[in-house]
Amino acid sequence: MRYLGMVLLGVAALFTTTMALGAADQANKAKAAAEQGAVTHTEHVESGVAGGATESFAGQTAEDAETIAKERKPFPAELPAAPEGDVAEVNLVVVDKTVEIAPGIQYNVWAWGETAESATALGPPIHVREGQLVKFRITNEGSIPHSMDFHAARIAPNEAFKDVMPGESFSFEFVAGDPGVFMYHCGTKPVLAHIANGMYGAIVVEPADLPPADREYVLVSSEWYLDSPGIDEPANLSMDKARAMTPDWVTWNGYAGQYAQHPLTADPGDTVRFWVVAAGPSLSTDFHVVGTIFERAWANAAMHDPQIGPQTVTVPAGGGGVFDVKIDDPGTYPFVSHSFASVELGQVGILKVGEPKGGSSH
């Protein structure tokens, strides 16, 4: 219970109000800053001196943070269906965008998505089956070069993972011959900046012989390094903080505490499978579900060799892991990185099993 108390205290702290600013004023400033921010940011990163701030903005949220968090639609964690047949077509568009990474915290990212409109930081979860041919196309509608590095591919990186100039598209294909969950990311230099600015995601390569699961969720861990609080105007990357590995926020699927506010769900007795990637850019995640023990854990996504019954498993930066839990008792079960500084910085969600009795009084 002490753990749960700590976790929920952490969740509550996420929504602590620290600054007063009218919402309309904030929106206008964000819009104006977004219009200028991309250029400024680009210049900074290209010159390698993006945002020199080292002061921590951890835990600072907008005045109406709780309302914002409640009303915001969470990033979809459900594993999408894999395409039928022998070919999986994946098309991603890259755009400059301002997104929210915590309640009321705006940040200028390099986003990608299936369309420019749907693009966000992180990219969408991709699901293919082992053996499928992945036909991939990247279209760069951003202002600087970008690229794609699929960890699921065995391919010459100098040919496939090359920079794509603004306004251009590039295609390559690979056979998804190795099952697991893999990171994908932009590999353009400085890679630290491109990953820190949202250019990452997860691709699930599902083996044919995996035991069935009732619910399947994809979780990507990542950290954010801000050059300002991101409240009065959108934050940009602080390269100094990124180099020092001192994040302001650490998130599941790009947004602090979103699944604490909007829990993932399961029925009692369900087998729930988490496909987890640690995108970093630099920190690993020590995956743990409070109140249960993993039925099976495919550490490092080595799908031929599950571990039975571990409590916490490290997912390294740039790596993946697959985790099954089976929970019979209704309740709210937090999932965290058990490196608890990450929980303090926003990396906590809730798996709600059944209809838990009462509130979260403990």
Q: Which residues bind Cu ion (CB under 5 A)?
A: 146, 186, 188, 194, 199
Closer CB to Cu ion, 148 or 205, in the complex: 148
Closer CB to Cu ion, 146 or 151, in the complex: 146
Closer CB to Cu ion, 103 or 254, in the complex: 254
Return all residues near 321 (Cβ < 8 A) that are at least 6 apart. Answer: 181, 276, 287, 297, 298, 299, 300, 301, 313, 314, 315
Contact 175, 132 (CB under 8 A): yes
Closer CB to Cu ion, 45 or 278, in the complex: 45
- The nearest distance, CB 176 to Cu ion, in angstroms, is 22
Distance CA 132, CA 129 (A): 6
Closer CB to Cu ion, 146 or 326, in the complex: 146
Question: In this structure, are strands 105-113 and 180-185 parallel, antiparallel, or unpaired?
Answer: unpaired
- The nearest distance, CB 38 to Cu ion, in angstroms, is 13
Closer CB to Cu ion, 220 or 303, in the complex: 220
Instruction: Give ∠ CA 155-280-322 in degrees, rounded to 5.
Output: 70
CA dihedral 124, 68, 197, 18 (to 10 degrees): -160
Contact 260, 66 (CB under 8 A): no
SS3 287: strand
Distance CA 254, CA 265 (A): 19
- The nearest distance, CB 274 to Cu ion, in angstroms, is 27
- The nearest distance, CB 146 to Cu ion, in angstroms, is 3
- The nearest distance, CB 184 to Cu ion, in angstroms, is 12
Q: What DSSP string runs through 185-197?
A: E--PSSHHHHHHT
Identity of residue 149: D
- The nearest distance, CB 163 to Cu ion, in angstroms, is 9
- The nearest distance, CB 165 to Cu ion, in angstroms, is 12
- The nearest distance, CB 237 to Cu ion, in angstroms, is 12
Closer CB to Cu ion, 140 or 292, in the complex: 140
Closer CB to Cu ion, 42 or 347, in the complex: 42
Two tokens, residue 21: 């600013």
Which residue's Cβ has the minimum distance to Cu ion? 186
- The nearest distance, CB 186 to Cu ion, in angstroms, is 3
SS3 329: coil
Sole residue written with tokens 């990452």: 200
Closer CB to Cu ion, 194 or 296, in the complex: 194
Which of 69, 113, 59 shows the shortest CA–CA distance to 91? 113
Return all residues near 45 (Cβ < 8 A) that are at least 6 apart. Answer: 144, 190, 193, 237, 239
